[in-house]
A and B are shown apart, each in its own frame.
Chain A
Amino acid sequence: MRRFIVPSGAILAAIATIAALVATLVLVAISGDSPAESLAAFAVRPFSSAWFLGNLLDRAGLALLAALGSSVALRSGNLNLGGEAQIYAPALVSAAMLSAPGAAASGLLAFVAALLAAIALGAALALVPGVLKTRLGASEILTSFLLSAAILPVLDYLVSGPLRNPEGNLLATREIEQSFRLPSLLPPSRLNPSFLVACALAVAAAWFISRTRAGYRLRVSGTAPEFARFAGINVGSVTAGAMAVSGALHGLAGFCAIAGTWFACHEGFSAGMGWTARAVALIAGRSPLAAIPAALLVAWLQAAADATSLYSRVPVDVTAFIQAAIFLVISARSLPGLVARSRPRGARYD
């Protein structure tokens, strides 16, 4: 039997998405004064102009990058819940470096330096939970989540305090130099080359995982950790490496968000991106290629929800609900590689 027959994980993901969609539609319809208008706005608005469409794609690209990070981790059998800090901290560092006085003079060097710093910082933040899991056996689900939650307030403090833009009114850093800003592909929206980079990376990731030796080690360690270890694969290194790559991708997302979309780091920077990236990752599951359509879908949901909030009295926090629902549905079937896969031997939860 060919392996490409739709695996049931995808079916579950599809169910989750449809359920979330239906729930959203219902909430949207009942929250507005005129259900028909709300729904119309929901469906059509995002495509109604270059501005809307371009921004939708831009958002999708950023979410895609972060979701690729989650996918890589997932494929290696790890759940990286520290995405928010892994986006925010590199974004902050990039914004600081690219808006520093004298940065413009260094030109390309400064740009590349900021890019590398962002990637390295993201990788480091994800590497910590990875190493903790390898050395101490501590669940990366919790350690990544807690580490991120502990760091976020510190980042908020830095943005609204020491690194705050003294000239502006916003709680944000100084805007980065004009020369560092990525050009728009679809003015007046903020769509920029980072979207294309994201798509290219998705394809590259899919190729890497399925065709290279390192990719093989990655996916076997995730699906069958005991088998991998027994066969001589160093599962600990794979875990640490995958987490580092995951964090690096999140860091890249943060960098692109600064250099291409917002040009400054504001307080709570990662909040919006965090949820979209997680939702994409959960829907796309372990397949990097599936992340592309998933990112487009989720970006549309987000954009549409924002558009309707202009009409309705009760801007329901739809996004968190959808995310929680997706979480639950996906968790219902112990995703292969997420729960330590060994023979059911008096397992705790059986």
Chain B
Amino acid sequence: MTDALFAILASAAPLAFAGLGALATEHAGVLAVFMDGAITLAGLLCVLVACWTGQPALGFLAAAVALPFLLALVAIFTERFRANPFITGLAANLAFGALSATLSLAAFGTKGVVSLSERGVDVSFPRNLFFPAALAAAFGLAFVLKRTPFGLRLRASGPDPDALRARGLDPARYRVASWAIAGFAAACSGAILAFGLGAFVPNMSAGRGWTALAAVYLGYRRPLPILAASVLFAACDYATTVLQGVGAVPSTVILGLPYALALIVFLAIPNHSGK
């Protein structure tokens, strides 16, 4: 029984990180439609650099620098050209997915599974640190949002940019920062997935980026409830895996669930309409 609990908590961690990242952009008024592709790319970069240097920590570092950077670029593009963030976000999602496949092919010669252990990288990670890390991140984000001027301004940048302008602040800066934060969260999420599996698997995020959006709304847009929602989703996922083993639900259909869920939640909470 405790085994199941630990497994659920550990698998909730990547989802929680993704949700926290999506929360950051949510406050800035942007729906994080790029999250799914970002997670997969992050996972690949982790594995890539880990294999290259033999150090998993450097892999994580690479992802933690690259993803925020890339997403900040897209954000700056969006601001500068007054583009529709849905579209640029989706474009980024697409590009990140393609980039993962391409890099995987270029570096490892395969679009398939890239195992770390086969390449001589130490695969023994303290898996039971994953969830505590997510918990710490949730607390951290909650603190920043409630108690630091940066967090307060981030919360205002989406719904009330005029309030920031009246104080001589530029809301665009905070919006770009939110994309970067989401990038860092995607890096954490991807790293956990990669190191947890001990490999890079094509389309590793498996729709988690979309479930993360659902978690944001289910968690009333607050960090700790989002964490709780992530655990809930992980528990459901665990249950379906068990059911699959029993042959009750076809696996391919499960793949569609994150999207369906995100859709339902998006409709139930009509925050973003037409923009």
Contacts and interface: CB of A to CB of B under 8 A. Distances in A.
Touch test A–B (CB under 8 Å): yes
A348 B84 contact: no
Interface string A261-279: 0000000000000000000
B97 interface: yes
Contacts of B95: 320-321, 324-325
Interface string B64-91: 0000000000000111011111111011
A146 B260 contact: yes
A245 interface: no
Interface centre among A138, A154, A348 (most CB of B within 10 A): A348
A330 B274 CA distance: 18
Interface of A: 79, 81, 132-133, 136-139, 141-143, 145-147, 149-154, 156-157, 160-161, 314-317, 320-321, 323-325, 327-328, 330-334, 338-340, 346, 348-350
A321 B98 CA distance: 7
A81 B252 contact: no
Contacts of B161: 346, 348
B33 interface: yes
B29 interface: yes
Contact of A142 (B83, B86, B255): B86
Nearest to B101: A317
Given A143-B267, A146-B266, A317 B259 contact: no
Contacts of A332: 77, 81, 83
Contact of B90 (A133, A327, A349): A327
Contacts of B29: 348-349
A157 B259 contact: no
B252 A154 contact: yes
B210 interface: yes
A321 B96 CA distance: 9
A136 B263 CA distance: 13
Contacts of B118: none
14 contacts: A133-B274, A139-B274, A142-B31, A142-B33, A149-B256, A149-B259, A153-B252, A153-B255, A161-B250, A320-B94, A324-B95, A328-B77, A328-B91, A331-B83
Contacts of B266: 138, 142-143, 146
B105 interface: yes
Contacts of A321: 95, 98-99, 102
Interface in B82-122: 82-88, 90-92, 94-95, 97-99, 101-102, 105-106
A47 B106 CA distance: 30
B127 interface: no
B91 A314 contact: no
B270 interface: yes
Contact of B94 (A133, A327, A349): A327
A331 B267 CA distance: 24
B1 interface: no
B274 to A, nearest CB: 5
A260 to B, nearest CB: 28
A11 to B, nearest CB: 15
Contacts of B88: 327-328, 331
B241 to A, nearest CB: 16
A139 B105 contact: no
Contacts of A325: 91, 95
A334 B274 CA distance: 13
Interface in B244-275: 250, 252-257, 259-260, 262-263, 266-267, 270, 272-275
